[in-house]
Chains A and B, each alone.
Chain A
Amino acid sequence: MANGSEMALKITFIILAHQNPVIVLRLVNALIQAGHTVALHYDKKADVEDYRKLEQAFHGNPAVRLAKRVKVYWGHWSICEATLNCIDEIAAAGWEPDYVYYASASDYPIRSSDALVAFLTRNNGKEFIEGVPSDKQIWVKGGPQEERYQYRFWFNWRDQYKRASFFLNMQKKLGLKRKFVLGLEPHMGSQWWVLTWKTLKRVMELANTRGVRRFFKTTLIPDELFFQTLVCNLVPASRIISRPLTLYQFTDYMVPIIYCADRVEYLIRQPFFMARKLSPHRLELYDALDKVWFGHSLTLAFTNDRVAMISPEYETQRLKHRDGVKGLPLYGKPVPDWYEDLARLEDTFFAVIGLSVSELRIAFLFLSCSQKLLCHGQIFHPKCIEFAYGSREFAGYTTDAIRLRDTSAPNFVANLVRAEAKKTTGFLIFADHGWHIPEIIFDQPHPRALLLRGDPLIAFAEFICGGNFTLEDRIDWNMIDAMPPSVLVRKWHEFLPQFEKRLQKLDNLVQSGIEKKRGNNWNWLTEVDLDVTRNSRLHSQNFMRIRSDLAGWAGMTLSRWRDWMIPAAKNLGIQLSNAIPAETSREVTTMLAGLEAGRKMLIGALAAGGATLPEELDPPDTNNEPIPLGARANRAR
């Protein structure tokens, strides 16, 4: 605790209070215990019982004087009058302080008393008052500035706005502009100042000059004008430090921020000596700041040039939370029907979109090798939701929560992505599934896509087996083998238009995505064409045509899949290793062999049934005229 008798510098605090005597008592006691003196004004409008408590508490205390009470109103001369009463009380007490620190009962020290004394000793003679020449600079952010003193205000701007505004306009129309009293240059600034007693005595002399008080009584918000103008006209500019020693910040509603109990750390980091307004509801805040004030807890020292430099934390937080935290849902804010919660999602995720589940499964097996990836299966399968690692539930959804998922597909995807914080989330979509999620993926900036333009024969085999394959389902080649070729050909002709329609849809998506994501430098799309017979057009820079020098899809050996999957995965943001785990290699190799064998059988059966096939698909021992399958697909584009 600072010892008052050893102080080289005497400080008196003027405190204006209007409520909460507990906090007033606490503040005044803290100040006088540190050896300072206090002149207190308690609003005459406030509860008389509260005032009695204060009177009793400070009765006979030589360090506290209670000033003559006036009824104080916002933006009214009464604030200055209360302050002048306090100054009169200081003069009457004969304290003759070096400095007078003007504060309200909502303020509290955020630096030690010793630090304040040391600072003022170091800067002895300086006046800490904000004074902006209001004829030359704009200081008021909203509302009248020069009009505040050019015209007369007989009514309160806040409580009687209509009347005050009416009379202001009347005076303007009648040209009743007035000159500033005594020809002084008007200055404006914050109400909270720290001035030397010598200056205040001169201010009082000037204030007592005939006409001065009468002039300021009819100005608007004189507490931001009266002392500022008088001091700036009395004291040379070299002695005025136009920075407040009290921290105060405003919200964007121009209301002072109230610092709550959890803001102690923030407050004591700020290079000020007091802060306002402090929440009066949790006394823990005051306990913590008492330790600072009495020097029991250390605070960082600051140099003169850093005084009153507020850190940007408040602004940063305000802007961060202005429209909800980015990436998190903002419940209660109406969302666009199309995107729903995906509009707010900022995490990267990807979808592998394919034309057959068998091909998607191979991609899934490769991608699942990565430890940094959480790859779900077909999350939009009509019969179940395939979560990663065969989980029964994920993000609160179970595998059979189809209706819940379909209530809002974008919200469902957003929940899956948010549920995995560490890994990149991905999933598979069969070209016909997924509601409008593929459209959103090709539209929103964050999602990435891997597009597999698959082999029609593999997709056809799945079609014959009933379609809607899950990752666990396998093509029943024996059943296909047992089917009469004529039936197969009929189904082939039934299937082809559907397939082409899906291809068309994917192409449209790519086209719209390229247009909408044009500004996006990132490789958001990887296209892979697994059909060797199509002459695909190059759509994006990441187009990979699996042009096999071997016959047909047979070229898709394990190593060949790996060769294109690694760069494709890289575009999805995943680093795949060259070394494929043995289990995956075995599974993929077996699958590829099975698919290739089945595919050859299917080509033979279709040819036997009289279907015309493209050259490359044609088995070598047949003489049928090839149907340009690729040409069909290209026509569709």
Chain B
Amino acid sequence: MLAEFFDSFSEHRKFFFRYTLPLKLASLRAGRRLEHVFGKPDGRKIASVIAVVPYYGDHRLLPWFLTYYRKLGIKFFAFLDVSTERDLADRIESATDCAVWRPKGFMHPGKTVDALNYLRHRYARDRWCLSVEPYDLLVFPKSETRHIRDLTDFMESEQRKHVFAIVVDTYGDVPASEMSLSGEISPADQLPYFDRFGYQTAAAEALDVIPILGGVQRRYLYGDEPQRAPALNRIPLLKVTWDCYYLASTRVVVPTRLNTPHSPWHSTTTACLLRYALMGSEMPLHIAKQAEPAQLYPDSVTPLFAGSETMTSAILKNQGSQQFTSSQNLLDCGLLNNGQWF
């Protein structure tokens, strides 16, 4: 009994020295290479759900992104500006609910995940933190009428500190390269379809990660090698505790219990990240594509943004496509799970 106790302690210690401590040190190192440009410099006396988002330079999508998440209930955004122009602060200087940070000089794309970890701890320690790409919209059951705090309150009531999500690529009737973004037409209007079928839960990987495979990229780009298709599982929303760090993009997180989608006793509320990357501009998408592989763990995982860049000229709509009108569409095909949330 005592031996078991010490063994388990030893396991925890090993894990701490292998993952948590290096990630903490890496995030602190990355933090030293960042400079604060705009907005509140830390998370004191700001909202209880904070978004920490990388910015690749797609300023056309920014108003749409902010509008959606403000409506969902996000009260504060901390951006990491990794765009080539580093001009995000100038573009959103009137926004009081945003803060902008940028690297001092060159930063290796692979360090983005560490820099974002630093910002998460700086702004959202002991609070809920939303970590999404600037092309992603978080959709959860009844998100049209419910606040993101409703979701986090419910998750806390089930003693869970994270929300599992699946990335769902969206597309339109015609190739994305033939579309253009104008003032009133949002990416969500341009790319209203998603794949209803063709997803699967793969066998659990190391660190309790349960990969979800499938979606548009698998059927269109990896039809001949489906096993190489990108993993779609993400943890976009979690409560940042002292030992909580993303290890790879938002796909793998430590402590490992945060990678498990469902409780062992019952299913849990999950979310979807509707990805509108096909409407992204060339250069920002290229930066996102460069940043992603260096962040992935393990290295064999196929990145998603590379596929998005390839599919811009493809006709993706087919007989299995479904138009997205509300979260109910995703609930109906099982991509969202309501869990026991009333």
Interface residues of A (CB under 8 A from B): 251-253, 255, 257-263, 279, 281-282, 284, 314, 317-318, 321-325, 328-335, 337, 340-341, 391, 393-398, 401, 403-404, 407-408, 411, 415, 418-419
Known: A394-B319, A397-B219. A332 touches B197 (CB 8 A): no
B154 touches A261 (CB 8 A): no
Question: What's the nearest-Cβ distance from chain A to residue B332, in Å?
Answer: 8
A-B contact pairs, 12 of them (CB 8 A): A251-B158, A258-B150, A258-B154, A259-B342, A321-B338, A329-B334, A332-B210, A334-B203, A396-B195, A404-B218, A404-B223, A411-B200
Tell me which of B157, B200, B267 contacts A323 (CB under 8 A).
B267
Contact B145 A260 (CB under 8 A): yes
Give the A-B contact count at a CB cut-off of 8 A. 154
Tell me how far the C-beta of B297 lies from the nearest C-beta in chain A, rounded to whole angstroms.
Answer: 19
User: A324–B73 contact, CB under 8 A?
Assistant: no
- Establish whether residues A393 and B270, one from each chain, have CB atoms under 8 Å apart when the complex forms: no
Which residues on B sit within 8 Å (CB–CB) of A322? 266-267, 340
Q: Report the minimal beta-carbon distance from B213 to chain A, rounded to whole angstroms.
A: 8
B318 within 8 A of A: yes
In the complex, whether B7 has a CB less than 8 A from a CB of chain A is: no
Residue of A whose beta carbon sits closest to that of B142: A262
Contact with A along B305-342 (1 / 0, CB 8 A): 00000000000001111000000000111110111111
Q: B162 to chain A: closest CB distance in Å?
A: 12
Interface members, chain B 176-226 (any A CB < 8 Å): 195-201, 203-204, 210, 212, 218-219, 223-226
Q: In the assembly, what is the distance between CA of A64 and CA of B342, in Å?
A: 34
Chain B residues proximal to chain A, CB less than 8 Å = 73, 142, 145-147, 149-150, 153-154, 157-159, 164, 166, 195-201, 203-204, 210, 212, 218-219, 223-227, 233, 261-262, 266-267, 270, 318-321, 331-335, 337-342
Residues of A contacting B219 with CB < 8 Å? 396-397, 401, 404
- Let me know if A415 and B340 touch, CB within 8 A: no
Contacts A279-B147, A407-B227 given: A391-B334 contact, CB under 8 Å?
Answer: no
Q: Could you tell me the distance between the alpha carbons of A330 and B262 in the complex, rounded to whole angstroms?
A: 9
Q: Contact check, A418 vs B145: say whether CB atoms are below 8 A apart.
A: no
Tell me the bound Cα distance from A397 to B320 in angstroms.
8
Q: CA–CA, A337 to B202, complex, Å?
A: 9
Kindly list chain B residues whose C-beta atoms are within 8 Å of the C-beta of A325. 331, 334, 337-338
A357: min CB distance to chain B, Å: 25
Q: Choose from B261, B320, B340 the contact partner of A396 (Cβ within 8 Å).
A: B320
Majority secondary structure of chain B interface residues (helix, strand, loop or mixed): loop
Q: Does the CB pair B150–A418 fall under 8 Å?
A: no
Question: Once the chains bind, are A261 and B145 in contact (CB under 8 Å)?
Answer: yes
A287 to B253 CA separation, bound complex (whole angstroms): 40
**Cα–Cα, bound, A337→B318 (Å):** 29
Q: Known contacts A262-B145, A395-B319, A411-B200; is A333 also within 8 Å of B267 by CB?
A: yes
Most buried by B among A252, A404, A418: A404
Query: In angstroms, how far is the closest chain B Cβ from the Cβ of A6?
Result: 37
Given the complex, which residues of B lie within 8 Å of A403, measured CB to CB?
223-226
Q: Which residues of B contact A279 (CB under 8 A)?
A: 146-147, 149-150, 153
**Known interface pairs A260-B146, A403-B223; A333-B261 also in contact (CB < 8 Å):** yes
| Contact status B225-A397, CB under 8 Å | no
* Cβ–Cβ < 8 Å partners of A314 in chain B: 342
Chain B residues lying within 8 Å of A284, measured Cβ to Cβ, are: 145
Bound: A331/B225 CA distance, A: 21
Bound CA span A261–B223, Å: 43
Find chain A residues with CB under 8 A from B224 CB: 403
Q: Are A341 and B320 in contact (CB under 8 A)?
A: no
How far apart sit A334 and B321, CA to CA, in the bound complex (Å)? 25
Whole-angstrom distance between the Cβ of B128 and the nearest chain A Cβ: 13
Apart from A323-B266, A396-B219, what 18 extra A-B contacts exist at CB < 8 Å? Answer: A259-B342, A321-B338, A322-B267, A322-B340, A325-B334, A325-B338, A330-B337, A331-B166, A332-B166, A332-B212, A333-B261, A335-B201, A340-B200, A396-B196, A396-B320, A401-B223, A403-B226, A419-B320
Chain B residues near A333 (CB-CB < 8 A): 201, 261-262, 267
Q: How far is the CA of A581 from the CA of B292 in the complex (A)?
A: 58
Among A314, A340, A401, find the residue whose CB has the most chain B CB atoms closer than 10 A: A401
Q: List A contacts of B262 (CB < 8 A).
A: 330, 332-333
Shortest Cβ distance from residue B209 to the other chain A in the assembled complex, whole angstroms: 10
Q: Is the CB of B319 within 8 A of A396?
A: yes
Q: Is there contact, CB below 8 Å, between A396 and B166?
A: no
* Chain A residue nearest to B141 in the complex (CB): A321
Judge whether B197 and A415 touch: CB under 8 Å: yes
Closest to B264 in A: A333
Q: Hey, which chain A residues are within 8 Å of B198, CB to CB?
A: 395-397, 404, 415
Across the interface, A393 reaches (CB within 8 A) one of B150, B212, B318, B340, namely B318
B196 neighbours in A (Cβ, 8 Å): 395-396, 419
CB distance from B144 to the nearest CB of A (A): 8
A251 and B340 contact, Cβ closer than 8 Å, known pairs A281-B149, A395-B320: yes
Report whether A395 and B197 are in contact in the complex, using a CB–CB cutoff of 8 Å. yes
* CB <8 Å contact, A407 and B147: no
Q: Is the CB of A330 within 8 A of B334?
A: yes
Please, how many angstroms separate the alpha-carbon atoms of A354 and B159 in the complex?
A: 53
Which partner residue on chain A sits nearest B146 by CB separation? A260
Residue of B nearest to A249 (CB): B342
Give the distance to chain A from B256, nearest Cβ to Cβ, in Å: 15
A563 to chain B, nearest CB (A): 36
Docked Cα-Cα span, A253 to B156, in Å, equals 10
Give A398 to B197 CA distance when docked, in angstroms: 13
Instruction: Flag if B145 contacts A396 (CB, 8 Å).
Output: no
Chain B residues near A258 (CB-CB < 8 A): 150, 153-154, 157
Looking at B142, B166, B226, which has the most chain A CB atoms within 10 Å of its CB? B226
Q: How far is the CB of B75 from chain A (nearest CB, A)?
A: 11
CB closest residue in chain B, given A280: B149
Q: Which residues of A contact B320 (CB under 8 A)?
A: 393-397, 415, 419
Give complex CA distance A371, B332 in Å. 25
Please report the C-alpha to C-alpha distance between residue A317 and residue B318 in the assembled complex, in whole angstroms. 33
Complex: how many Å from CA A235 to CA B270? 50
Contacts of A318 in B (CB 8 A): 340, 342
Within the complex, the shortest CB–CB distance from B238 to chain A, in Å, comes to 15
Contact B201–A331 (Cβ < 8 Å): yes
What's the Cα separation between A406 and B73 when bound, in Å? Answer: 43
Residue numbers in A under 8 Å from B331 (CB-CB): 325
Chain A residues in 8 Å Cβ range of B150: 258, 260, 279, 281-282
Q: Name which of A263, A337, A394, A411 has the most chain B CB atoms within 10 A of its CB.
A: A411
Contact residue among B146, B270, B333 (Cβ-Cβ distance under 8 Å from A332)? B270
**How distant is A427 from chain B, measured CB to nearest CB, in Å?**
16
Q: Are A334 and B223 in contact (CB under 8 A)?
A: no
Determine the chain A residues whose CB is within 8 A of the CB of B142 once the complex forms.
260, 262
Q: Which of B200, B223, B224 has the most CB of A within 10 A?
A: B200
Closest to A418 in B: B197
